[in-house]
Structure 1
Amino acid sequence: MRRKPATPPPVVDRAPPELYLSRELAALEFNFRVLAQARDARIPLLERLRYLSIVANNLDEFFEVRVAMLKHHHMFGSAAPGPDGLSSGELLSRIRTRVLDLVAEQYETWQEDIGPALDAEGIHFLKRDRWTSRQRRWLQGYFENEVMPVLSPLGLDPAHPFPRILNKTLNIAVVLKGRDAFGREGHMALVRAPRSLPRIIRLPDEVSDGGVHYIFLAELLQGFVDLMFPGFKVAGSYQFRVTRNSELMVEEAEVDNLARALSEELLGRGYARPVRLEIGNDCPKAIVQMLVSNFELEETDVYRCDGPVNIIRAGTIYDGLERPELKFPRFIPQLPAIFKDARCKFEVLRQRDVLLHHPYESFAAVVDLLRQASQDPAVLAIKQTLYRAGEDTPLVDLLVEAARNGKDVTVVIELRARFDEEANIRLATRLQEAGVQVVYGVVGFKTHAKMLLIVRREEEMLRRYVHLSTGNYHQANSRSYTDIGLMTAHPGIGEDLHKVFQQLSGLGPVIELNHLLHSPFTLYRSVLEKIERETAHALAGKPARIVAKLNALNEAHVIQALYRASQAGVEIDLIVRGACTLRPGLPGISERIRVRSIVGRFLEHSRVYWFANDGAPEIYCGSADWMERNLKRRIEVAFPILDPALAQRVYEETLANYLADNTEAWLLDGNGRYARAQVGATPPHSAQQWLLDKLVPPSN
């Protein structure tokens, strides 16, 4: 049924600032949703501990990158306000207020919820006042034999100035009374815990008195701090941790060798400008002021912790504990049925496209395809991008094997993948030594696309086989991230991908692609055009709808286009895991836009865009969020799902399924706050559990 044509909405260059949420504050809100998982008694206990650790890790990265850059801009006045209109100073103030809330909830969860629950399960984190005499004897022996020999306690005086403190390391500030052998009066000392020391120590069973007992290294250091300063009386000891700017500042256009420049920059990353000081709740104000002064911070950069400052380490006990009843049920990802009895992956792909939905379906399908390609005499060339591959991926061994078997192997490695720079430099060196042609992409544009191209000679012709994915070629991530992969021998997609690789490895001109959407060239424009097309359909009285699943949404003009579409009558559903700066549900602006976030067992990572297109729907998957950096400053590829059956499957599994979720979904309101979806009259539905039930056999 056709609707009455609507009046076109006004066209403006950019929506007013009050129509945008802050990107940084939106990113912080995601961590409150993760922390809610840690507080949810329905979730297995060790999984809740893992969520608590994830929040701490996310907060570290938030300060190392986002807060660090904001403080830099605030100091030098080098950035104009974003679409939300907030100055860097005002934004830093709001961030502090919200982080204080998050830290308070985090430690309350640890002290009053997870800690006692672990105790009840016989898993104990011992504080000094709970050590038995037998435990104290064992811990003292461990301290004297394993810890003390690698420590270098430092007394602070004019001959021993305040030392350099490495990023995110554990430290103890010690207040001393008395004189040493040289007559020096003891006042202050520092104990830096080397990274070689384990941050969590498990006591042997013979001194555990039942159950499993752990101790934080900070507790151990404070428990025996007097042994480090013989002749002095210890008046107090206080743990602290400093977070530093970790954003690398290599000016790519001004260096001759990116790998060498990054290696040199990485040497100083651990000692870059401080941005946050975490300190124990019991630390006196005078000690805090001394630390603040030495780190050249402000009082507003200090965050007091009601518990261990390195609480992120608590989650490391997860892998070492065989307590399956306290973890999510295990399952074995499955190969697609069509691959199970197929000896040759290439024969299968010549007949049909194959879709992979991780982690429910196994990443082994991709590994097996590359293994076959590395050994097949008919395969002439292999080209692949690697953004985050992990240290233990079998793919690298197979690429090396392929090169040694005479294949022409080209790998595009993104050296600037944040916090994976060192691993990627090592990876590039290893591949180069094996004869692989390694390129680092394009200066000024991170290569974020996930692409594999295999060229095979078949019956006097060359055929291209392709794997495209929304996620990294990372074995561990494929077991915990949700991603979509497409394996195809479609000639048009293969030709497009060939052109993309040529552009990356050479110095080619702008290319025209027939099927793939390519950032920074056509993807941004195409997304806007497809939104505007839905707007035009709505204005013409036709049904119009957009559904998109993303990690983040912050591109101002895309948001503006979505607002116009909503005003025209387009129904819009956005599934955005993390930061979303669009305000949904605003009267007259975004009434037809609904935004939800799914936080569950697996990290939602797939990006899927669906446009109704007047009864001829289009669906694309890719590695690009609708963010300014992905659409304008990265090499990205969005790929269409051309097989109608697979397109329907992607829609059902990644969109309709998630829109029906009422147990793990959070709904965003126009003020930037999230509320849990309510089951109501409909039966409970978990999108991730539905996929487990659908794609993983019950025998698992």
Structure 2
Amino acid sequence: MSANPEAVAERPLDAPDLFINRELSLLEFNDRVLEQARDTRVPLLERLKFLCISSTNLDEFFEVRVAGLKQKAELVNSPTEADNRTPTEALRAISARAHELVAKQYSTLNDELIPALQDEGIRFLRRSEWNPEQRAWLAQFFEEELLPVISPLGLDPAHPFPRILNKSLNFIVSLDGTDAFGRKIDYAVVQAPRALPRVIQLPSEAGSGDHDFVFLSSIIHQHVGDLFPSMGTRGCYQFRVTRNSDLFVDEEEVDDLLRAVEGELPSRRYGDCVRLEVAHNCPDSLCKYLLDRFLLSKEDLFQVDGPVNVNRLMSLLDTVDRPDLKYPAFSPRLPSELGPSGDLFAEIRASDVLLHHPFDSFLPVIDFVRRAASDSRVLAIKQTLYRTGPDSAVVDALVEAARAGKEVTVVVELRARFDEADNIELANRLQAAGAHVVYGVVGYKTHAKMTLIVRRETDGLHNYVHLGTGNYHPKTARLYTDYGLFSCDDDLGNDVHEMFLQLTSLGKVSGLERLLDAPFRLHKAIIEKIDREAANARAGKPAHIIAKMNSLVEPQSIRALYAASQAGVTIDLIVRGICCLRPGVAGVSENIHVRSVVGRFLEHTRVFYFANDDAPELYLASADWMDRNFFRRVETCFPVTSPALYDRVQRELALYLADNSQAWLLGNDGRYTRAEPVGDEAPLAAQKRLMEGPG
């Protein structure tokens, strides 16, 4: 950054160095997740969970983001992001940062978590530590469970290098001697059976403690010689390859989107290779051999000291019954007026109701659809489903409603990444029950979270709506923070009705009163509201923006925030993940403060506040400030107009802005530092405070 404020201010607000690379920012988020695994204030097994989450996140990062950059680098290696890096330049920077992150993951596992777990009687036994009883039990396990299903493959012209499944556990074995036919075979590949767990618990009869575990890879290493009886094994090294897992469906060219997506799913297992992980002691010659087979470069190689599939350790959270090493049990609040004995529709008609999950229970959302399904006065139910899980109580209720003869319309997003198979199954089930199922709009993912229930009452038809910032997924509702709003407001109900008409009939919305919708009005409205705050600041009026979201990427909104900062607007951003805006740049963004909160729950709410002089506005949304959300998705952004609910959301935003325990502060170098209490400040964790009661 320049030291001359005037020189900085003269630069155009689209200068590349004012934007943080989105991929590098995403890696920084993963580093913050990993720091939860290193935080001794977090219960031990939860620390292990955060390590696994960081590993899973990194898998997806390579499967999607790195894979996409590699494709761009091969086609047209020119800048496509606001930071003006070419894909090749971005890949080089990503490789360096990802290698740092992976080294940190394994040092966390080996130097911190495994010793701490061992102190608690939870042990991962190396082969050198097996006692005679354990060796005998594991030999029998190999003989009975592994040997019948394992297929070692010696490599020769008749047995070429096999197709390796995405993220599967494999071993490259170097051999000595000749095979049964007198031929010299140098290498073999052993693929671990997919049906077996990667972590094996030893039983008490093997002379083991209650929580002694062995990695499946250790068992295969120990007995790999048994797979090649006529040859000697010089080395056995685990490896895993990550492949491009993004689906390609040319939506303009297909007649049936469901069948097209369904047909593409198998290809995800064998997409182009993007990363190779191997054991840290694998010889250079074997690493080069594997890299050549997968058409990868040395930058794509990650040599790791431990299991190549760290995320499989997540199974321990269910296997090890140690509540003292996990977060204390937490039961979400259930507002009494929305409980089983309350009149849900009467409560919603009397006033808007706001739920903040997981602090507030998700049950009223399920109950909303269930009651509608059995209510004789309900004529129609319409709902969007983006991610809802394979066993969904919401879908159960929709099926019952359709079977009861109600008009049920469901917009299912088939292309919700990594949930495609579940969504296809749900769509088929709903259609079989008689529901009208549509798949959104070609070229636009339906990411809006909305439910509309049409009910006949004594004074006519009324629209009851639920609008959310998150998915209709009971499991994630216990793990993610999200807002959900129930309302019977006429204007809001008519707007939701119009949006469903557009999704099913593909006609143009005649005009919305309350909702800001993408891809039509949301981006323009956000820019206008930011510009209005800037104009107010220049006029000496109060001006303040608070925006909480998952990702901030879209360049025009970032430039508008820079301009507002220059005008004197105070801007507080709470951005969980990717943030391409660079705060604290002299003459550009001194008035912008960016924080990320990472805690027990994944922050997922989107909240936008604009001071608007003396008429403040507060919105909740399904959309982040990203190009895809503004321009390539169907999204909703809805106002909070109830004074009581407005005050509640404002208080809860204030908690996040005051968090000094789980918050991370973004510097203008693109790195984050943990917030800490200053002076006599008491520690404050927003999530912990919200678990105690509403803000």
For the superposition of Structure 1 and Structure 2, which TM-score range results when normalised by the shorter chain?
Answer: over 0.9
SS at match of 2:486: strand
What residue is the counterpart of 2:192 in the other structure?
A: 193
1:51-91 deviation digits (Å, cap 9, x = unpaired): 00001000000000000010111111165331001111111
What residue is the counterpart of 2:580 in the other structure?
A: 581
State whether structure 2 residue 139 is matched by structure 1 residue 140: yes
What residue is the counterpart of 1:401 in the other structure?
A: 400
- Alpha carbons of 1:80 and 1:511: their partners in 2 closer, same or farther (altered >3 Å)? farther
Q: 1:678 aligns with which of 662, 676, 682?
A: 676
What residue is the counterpart of 1:458 in the other structure?
A: 457
* 1:205 Cα deviation after fit: 2.5
- Alpha carbons of 1:10 and 1:380: their partners in 2 closer, same or farther (altered >3 Å)? farther
1:259-297 deviation digits (Å, cap 9, x = unpaired): 111111112111010000000001011111111111111
What residue is the counterpart of 2:618 in the other structure?
A: 619
1:14-413 to 2 correspondences below 5 Å:
15-77=14-76, 80-340=79-339, 342-413=341-412
What residue is the counterpart of 2:529 in the other structure?
A: 530
* 1:218 Cα deviation after fit: 1.2
What residue is the counterpart of 2:447 in the other structure?
A: 448
* TM-score, reference length from structure 2: 0.97
Find the aligned partners of 2:162 and 2:382 in 1 and give their Cα distance: 47
Amino acid at match of 2:200: I
1:380-406 deviation digits (Å, cap 9, x = unpaired): 100000101011221111110000001
Alpha-carbon contact 1:482-1:603 (below 8 Å) kept = yes
Find the aligned partners of 2:147 and 2:612 in 1 and give their Cα distance: 69
1:173-225 deviation digits (Å, cap 9, x = unpaired): 11111222211223111011232121121111222532311122111111111
Does 1 or 2 have the higher relative contact order (CA < 8 Å, sep 6+)? 1
State whether structure 2 residue 662 is matched by structure 1 residue 664: yes
Instruction: List runs of 5+ in structure 2 lacking aligned partners.
Output: 1-5
1:118-146 deviation digits (Å, cap 9, x = unpaired): 11101111221111111111111111111
1:507-546 to 2 correspondences below 5 Å:
507-546=506-545
* 1:14 Cα deviation after fit: 5.3
- Alpha carbons of 1:146 and 1:481: their partners in 2 closer, same or farther (altered >3 Å)? same
Alpha-carbon contact 2:9-2:587 (below 8 Å) kept = no
1:328-378 deviation digits (Å, cap 9, x = unpaired): 100111212322374321111111111101001110011111111000111
Alpha-carbon contact 2:13-2:562 (below 8 Å) kept = no
1:475-520 deviation digits (Å, cap 9, x = unpaired): 1100010000001111110000000000001120143100011000
How many equivalent pairs are there?
A: 688
* 1:460 Cα deviation after fit: 5.2
Amino acid at match of 2:262: S
Alpha-carbon contact 2:9-2:586 (below 8 Å) kept = no
Find the aligned partners of 1:38 and 1:88 in 2 and give their Cα distance: 31
Q: Percent identity?
A: 54
Find the aligned partners of 1:494 and 1:608 in 2 and give their Cα distance: 21
SS at match of 2:423: helix
- Alpha carbons of 1:341 and 1:162: their partners in 2 closer, same or farther (altered >3 Å)? closer
Runs of 4+ in 1 over 6 A off after TM superposition: 9-13
Alpha-carbon contact 1:124-1:211 (below 8 Å) kept = no
- Alpha carbons of 1:631 and 1:161: their partners in 2 closer, same or farther (altered >3 Å)? same
- Alpha carbons of 1:79 and 1:417: their partners in 2 closer, same or farther (altered >3 Å)? farther
Amino acid at match of 1:353: D
What residue is the counterpart of 2:3 in the other structure?
A: none
SS at match of 2:93: helix
What residue is the counterpart of 1:476 in the other structure?
A: 475
Q: Indicate the larger mover: 561-570 or 290-299.
A: 290-299
Find the aligned partners of 1:344 and 1:224 in 2 and give their Cα distance: 64
Alpha-carbon contact 2:9-2:588 (below 8 Å) kept = no
Find the aligned partners of 1:440 and 1:209 in 2 and give their Cα distance: 53
Find the aligned partners of 1:493 and 1:56 in 2 and give their Cα distance: 41
Alpha-carbon contact 1:14-1:557 (below 8 Å) kept = no
What residue is the counterpart of 2:644 in the other structure?
A: 645
What residue is the counterpart of 1:4 in the other structure?
A: none
- Alpha carbons of 1:566 and 1:427: their partners in 2 closer, same or farther (altered >3 Å)? same
Find the aligned partners of 2:72 and 2:686 in 1 and give their Cα distance: 41
Find the aligned partners of 1:336 and 1:511 in 2 and give their Cα distance: 37
Q: Indicate the larger mover: 557-566 or 132-141.
A: 132-141
Find the aligned partners of 1:278 and 1:435 in 2 and give their Cα distance: 48
What residue is the counterpart of 2:429 in the other structure?
A: 430
Amino acid at match of 2:601: F
CA RMSD of aligned residues (A): 1.5
- Alpha carbons of 1:342 and 1:350: their partners in 2 closer, same or farther (altered >3 Å)? farther
What residue is the counterpart of 1:3 in the other structure?
A: none
Alpha-carbon contact 1:53-1:313 (below 8 Å) kept = yes
* 1:595 Cα deviation after fit: 0.1
Find the aligned partners of 2:166 and 2:86 in 1 and give their Cα distance: 27
* 1:13 Cα deviation after fit: 8.0
- Alpha carbons of 1:385 and 1:13: their partners in 2 closer, same or farther (altered >3 Å)? farther
* 1:312 Cα deviation after fit: 1.1
Alpha-carbon contact 1:551-1:607 (below 8 Å) kept = yes
Q: Indicate the larger mover: 663-672 or 139-148.
A: 139-148
- Alpha carbons of 1:393 and 1:308: their partners in 2 closer, same or farther (altered >3 Å)? same
Amino acid at match of 1:318: L
Find the aligned partners of 1:124 and 1:490 in 2 and give their Cα distance: 58
* 1:579 Cα deviation after fit: 0.7
Find the aligned partners of 2:505 and 2:204 in 1 and give their Cα distance: 60
Find the aligned partners of 1:227 and 1:358 in 2 and give their Cα distance: 53
SS at match of 1:383: strand
Find the aligned partners of 2:576 and 2:145 in 1 and give their Cα distance: 44
Alpha-carbon contact 1:176-1:235 (below 8 Å) kept = yes
Find the aligned partners of 1:358 and 1:131 in 2 and give their Cα distance: 46
Alpha-carbon contact 1:14-1:556 (below 8 Å) kept = no
Q: Indicate the larger mover: 147-156 or 181-190.
A: 181-190
Q: Indicate the larger mover: 33-42 or 186-195.
A: 186-195
- Alpha carbons of 1:79 and 1:254: their partners in 2 closer, same or farther (altered >3 Å)? farther
Amino acid at match of 1:300: E
SS at match of 2:61: helix
Alpha-carbon contact 1:630-1:636 (below 8 Å) kept = yes
* 1:589 Cα deviation after fit: 0.3
Amino acid at match of 1:110: L
* 1:321 Cα deviation after fit: 1.8
SS at match of 2:213: strand
- Alpha carbons of 1:428 and 1:120: their partners in 2 closer, same or farther (altered >3 Å)? same
Find the aligned partners of 1:662 and 1:120 in 2 and give their Cα distance: 30
Find the aligned partners of 2:227 and 2:505 in 1 and give their Cα distance: 59
Alpha-carbon contact 2:552-2:580 (below 8 Å) kept = yes
Q: Indicate the larger mover: 180-189 or 634-643.
A: 180-189
* TM-score, reference length from structure 1: 0.97
Alpha-carbon contact 2:383-2:410 (below 8 Å) kept = yes
Find the aligned partners of 1:10 and 1:49 in 2 and give their Cα distance: 46
